[in-house]
């Protein structure tokens, strides 16, 4: 089992460029999440998907879109990157809702927007 995988590991963008962060899990989990981590801010939820075919906004959704492609994959898209989106992005998954079940995290994508 690979657990939760994320690609790419590192990315540098120029302001206005677009990109998609990929996430996949092989644990047959129903729920998946995207967080961003900034120094001194902890982890903040961007979007989550409680089950295949559903997505919902988290605390900081502006500037992002997501797609739950299938049960395994949950992608995060930046349509027009801004320097404020420089951050480390973590994907996570859990069997059901995060309140009752352990979340498993990927290794993160470190994104810099110039």
Partner 1 sequence: AQSVTQPDIHITVSEGASLELRCNYSYGATPYLFWYVQSPGQGLQLLLKYFSGDTLVQGIKGFEAEFKRSQSSFNLRKPSVHWSDAAEYFCAVGNQAGTALIFGKGTTLSVSS
Residues that bind partner 1 (CB under 8 A): 4, 31, 33, 35, 40-45, 48, 50, 56, 58, 90, 92, 97-100, 102-103, 105-108
> DSSP 3-state assignment of 83?
helix
Of 14 and 42, nearer to partner 1 (C-beta) is 42
In whole angstroms, how close is the CB of 54 to partner 1 at the nearest point? 10
**Count of Cβ atoms closer than 10 Å to residue 33 Cβ:** 24
In whole angstroms, how close is the CB of 65 to partner 1 at the nearest point? 18
In whole angstroms, how close is the CB of 80 to partner 1 at the nearest point? 26
Closest CA relative to residue 57, chosen from 39, 40, 34: 34
Q: How far is Cα 55 from Cα 10, in angstroms, rounded to an integer?
A: 25
């Amino acid at each position: 089992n690979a657990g939760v995988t994320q690609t790419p590991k590192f990315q540098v963008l120029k302001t206005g460029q677009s990109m998609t962060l990929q996430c996949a899990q092989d644990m047959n989990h129903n729920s998946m999440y995207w967080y961003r981590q900034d120094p001194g801010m902890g982890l903040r939820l961007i979007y989550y998907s409680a089950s295949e075919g559903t997505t919902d906004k988290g605390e900081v959704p502006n500037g992002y879109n997501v797609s739950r492609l299938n049960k395994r994959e949950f992608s995060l898209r930046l349509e027009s990157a801004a320097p404020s989106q420089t951050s480390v992005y973590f994907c996570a998954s859990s069997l059901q809702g995060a309140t009752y079940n352990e979340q498993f995290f990927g290794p993160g994508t470190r994104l810099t927007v110039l």
